[in-house]
């Protein structure tokens, strides 16, 4: 278990973390989700010991860790830009933690072989990082972080520098890896889709504070406040209430409770149709419906239609 209690951190005038407390259950896969500047990376770096909190406590696996240097915390850390040791081969990168611990050479060789297999880099062991693709480098960095069997695996925007296809691949792969090893894992992301898809538990952060910590489903269905509502998944605002794009009913004729909107754009994504609309007061509205519905209504860009919330949330 990882616990951070009342952690605060400033950089000059900028408040990165403002009295933040979180708990990460042993064996879980947790995402720290938030916009840039929300403090998520700072919190992760404080857990790793790469940054010192101005106030607050960190407990790792039952031991007070606040003043323990990073090399003694038993954490694995993966950086957004890989932080590959450029002058070492893939094998030497992966074996680094074991070499530092002065493990016997045969043991290091066996463990490196095992990890190279795990991260699917067989045949790349004697290459240098510069000879690998971004995805391969990040897998190497993961293997390197796992080598000494850390109690906790921390990943700072691990897929942020990769292209969309590799990112999706590595997400699935991280999920599978976690199911195999059950290492307590925390990763930072600003991509809500990534957080929702990969994590069991998501901590939503904003302006140095925790807005809500819950499972992806709970976050989406019962957001704690307007920020979570609009950051996790899309939402439209109708006066005091918030409506998800798929919770709008579309009709071609007005009735008492509908609002008039104009269709600006229709985007077909697989079976789903996303529409960008403009309300009569100029506010944008996003709408999501199935292809069948869109075809039944014969929606066209430029058309005027009427929408009515079927489910809404008021904070």
Partner 1 sequence: MRRLSLRFAAFGYLLVILLGPLAMLFWRIWAEGLGKAWSALIDADTVHAFKLTLEVASIAVPLNTIFGIVVGLAVVRRRFPGKGVVNAFVDLPLALSPVVVGLSLFLLFGRTGWFGPWFTAHGIQVLFALPAIVLVTVFVSVPYVAREVIPTLRELGEEQEQAAHTLGASGWQAFWRITLPSIRWAVIYGVVVTTARCLGEYGAVAVVSGSISGRTETATLRVQDYYENLDQAGAYGVALMLGLIAIVVLVLMTAFRPKDGAVR
Note whether 261 and 299 are within 8 A (CB): no
DSSP string, 185-249: EEEEES-HHHHHHH-SEEEEEETTEEEEEE-HHHHHHS-SSHHHHHHSS--EEETTEEE-GGGEE
Nearest approach, Cβ of 276 to partner 1 (angstroms)? Answer: 40
Nearest approach, Cβ of 147 to partner 1 (angstroms)? Answer: 8
Nearest approach, Cβ of 129 to partner 1 (angstroms)? Answer: 10
DSSP summary character for residue 252: S
CB nearer partner 1, residue 85 or residue 306: 85
CB nearer partner 1, residue 161 or residue 266: 161
Nearest approach, Cβ of 40 to partner 1 (angstroms)? Answer: 17
CB nearer partner 1, residue 6 or residue 86: 86
Q: Alpha helices, DSSP H only, in 128-182?
A: 134-146, 164-181
Nearest approach, Cβ of 99 to partner 1 (angstroms)? Answer: 8
Note whether 248 and 236 are within 8 A (CB): yes
> Where do contacts with partner 1 occur on this chain (CB under 8 A)?
48-50, 69-73, 75-77, 79, 81, 83-87, 96-97, 100-101, 130, 141, 144-145, 147-148
For the beta carbon of residue 90, count every other beta carbon within 10 angstroms.
Answer: 29
CB nearer partner 1, residue 147 or residue 174: 147
CB nearer partner 1, residue 144 or residue 178: 144
């Amino acid at each position: 278990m990882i616990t951070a209690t009342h952690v605060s951190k400033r950089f000059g005038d900028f408040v990165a973390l403002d009295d933040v407390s979180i708990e990460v259950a042993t064996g879980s896969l947790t995402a720290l989700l938030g916009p840039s500047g929300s403090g998520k990376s700072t919190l992760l770096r404080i857990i790793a010991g790469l940054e010192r909190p101005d106030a607050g406590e960190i407990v790792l696996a039952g031991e007070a860790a606040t003043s323990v240097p990073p090399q003694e915390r038993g954490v694995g850390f993966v950086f957004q830009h890989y932080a590959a040791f450029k002058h070492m081969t893939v094998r030497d990168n992966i074996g680094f933690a074991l070499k530092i611990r002065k493990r016997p050479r045969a043991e290091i060789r066996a463990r490196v072989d095992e990890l190279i297999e795990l991260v699917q880099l067989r045949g790349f062991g004697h290459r240098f990082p510069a000879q690998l693709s971004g995805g391969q480098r990040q897998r190497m960095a993961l293997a390197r972080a796992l080598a000494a069997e850390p109690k906790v695996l921390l990943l700072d925007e691990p897929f942020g520098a990769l292209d969309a296809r590799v990112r999706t691949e590595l997400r699935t792969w991280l999920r599978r890896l976690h199911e195999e090893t059950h290492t307590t894992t925390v990763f930072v992301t600003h991509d809500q889709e990534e957080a929702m898809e990969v994590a069991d538990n998501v901590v939503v952060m904003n302006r140095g504070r925790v807005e809500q910590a819950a499972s992806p489903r709970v976050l989406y269905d019962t957001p704690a406040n307007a920020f979570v509502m609009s950051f996790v998944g899309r939402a439209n605002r109708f006066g005091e209430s918030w409506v998800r794009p798929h919770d709008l009913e579309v009709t071609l004729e007005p009735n008492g409770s509908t609002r008039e909107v104009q269709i600006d754009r229709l985007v077909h994504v697989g079976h789903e149709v996303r529409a960008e609309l403009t309300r009569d007061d100029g506010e944008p509205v996003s709408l999501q419906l199935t292809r069948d519905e869109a075809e039944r209504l014969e929606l066209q860009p430029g058309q005027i239609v009427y929408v009515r919330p079927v489910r809404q949330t008021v904070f």
